[in-house]
Amino acid sequence: MKVGLIHNNLNFSGGAEFVALNILSCLKEMKCDPFLISSKRVDSSLVARNYGLDICLKGEILPVELTFGTVYWNLVLPSLIRKKCDLLLDAYTNSLLPFVDITYIHFFKKIGKFTQRTGTKNHLLNSYYGPYFISQKILSLNASKKLILANSCYVANGIRNLLKINPKVINPPVNTSLFNSLAQSKERIVVTVSRFVGEKTLEIIPEIATKVDAKFVLIGSVHDFETWTEYKKLLALIKKKKVEEKVSVYPNLPLEDKIRFLKKAKVYFHTMRFEDFGIAIVEGMAASCIPVVHNSGGPREFVPQEWLYEDIESACQKIEDALSKWTPVIGCQMAEISQKFSSKKFREQFSISFKEYLFSQRR
């Protein structure tokens, strides 16, 4: 069986990319013939550097450069490639697309934003996004014949409320084996791993650093104008708050260095509110860090209540508590929770759902 997988660019370091790579590997294990529909050819050395995976996709990429730019192009794309495969899988657009059999949804805010915009008085936005949301409503009517997957109950509930469909939850894979740490001692280090974008609210780190006695390490991804701009703004804020000695920022850090910092740290601090899942949180827990995470979104499904914060003041208190309370026993407890999200677990769940879907289509 030839299976096409839609994903824009697997050369970035992110959760969505790791999901797609694991799906491709899983399809190979099931003796399928997967190929990638992407705007960029995969750089195997980057994949190895970012994920510790040795994956060969030679001959599995369409011999054209695809441009993912607008929501309407995403709607048209599947019709151009459907005849090239027996089954089509979308692990990128977070939308319902025509001619796609399986969709993995990482976040629902995209559709939610279109809904909000079409409720405004901005006629230009309504004219542009209105038809897109209508297309989602129409495509949702046929969703029962498709396999719709979501990465958390939080995302599944969001999609359910917006489109009245019921996605199956399969949490994303995390390469926990890379981060496993049984350290008997750690340092007063607080690590944050994130893309440099506004929604991550990384600007609270310099503020917290003025109040908490610890070394803060921010590891981020810079790959375009937006992330470069946010990165420079953050450096300026660190200087303004006079915490250059306490906050270190590392853009595009190699995987082995990220692992090294996490294994030395007592705390993983997550700044984003209403995170859809939070793969970096699980990585931190795999490295025996205590996760201090905002009390919202998908992370509430696996982060112990004790370490959820509400605002900057409570974040400071939770970080202080985690730094003083960390022990090897607590570190092992965090690592044990992380094992629920291993790559092996993801592949098992995806394989079962994939086979059940194929069986349902044959009846």
Task: Indicate whether 165 and 223 sit together in one domain.
Answer: no
Co-location of 217 and 357 in the same domain: no
> 231 by DSSP, 3-state: which?
helix
The answer to whether residues 65 and 142 belong to one domain is yes
Q: What is the mean pLDDT of each run of 10 residues along the chain (363 residues)?
A: 87 82 91 84 75 61 48 82 90 92 88 56 69 89 94 95 93 90 87 92 97 96 88 96 97 90 97 94 96 97 98 98 97 95 94 95 78
- At 103 the three-state DSSP class reads strand
Q: Which helix (H) or strand (E) holds 6?
A: strand 2-6
Per-residue model confidence as pLDDT tens digits over 115-144: 555 555 566 766 777 788 888 999 999 999
310 and 194 within one domain? yes
Instruction: Say yes or no: 245 and 269 in one domain.
Output: yes
Q: Is the dihedral of CA 289, 295, 298, 302 positive or negative?
A: positive
Which residues are within 8 A (CB) of 328 and not within 5 positions of it... i.e. 6 or more apart? 182, 183, 184, 185, 288
Alpha-helical segments (H) within the chain: 15-29, 44-51, 71-81, 109-117, 123-140, 153-163, 176-179, 204-209, 225-240, 255-264, 279-286, 312-325, 328-338, 343-362
Give just the sign of the alpha carbon dihedral 300, 226, 108, 343. Answer: negative
Q: Which residues fall within 8 angstroms of residue 191, CB to CB, at 6 or more apart?
A: 216, 217, 218, 219, 261, 262, 265, 267, 268, 269, 284, 289
Cα–Cα distance for residue pair 137/22, rounded to 1 Å: 30
Q: What is the pLDDT of residue 64?
A: 43
* pLDDT tens-digit series, residues 207-218: 999 999 999 999
Inter-CA distances, 204 with 154, 207, 248, 319, Å: 24, 5, 14, 13
Pairing, β 87-90 against β 290-294: unpaired
Q: What is the pLDDT of residue 225?
A: 87
State whether 13 and 103 are in the same domain.
yes
Q: Which domain holds residue 67?
A: 2-173+343-362
pTM given for the model: 0.88
98 three-class SS? coil
For the chain, the domain total comes to: 2
14 and 155 part of one domain: yes
Compute the C-alpha angle 307/313/315, nearest 5°.
25
Q: How many CB atoms lie within 10 A of CB 264?
A: 19
Task: Please tell me the predicted confidence (pLDDT) of residue 219.
Answer: 96
Q: What is the pLDDT of residue 63?
A: 42
Same structural domain, 307 and 229: yes
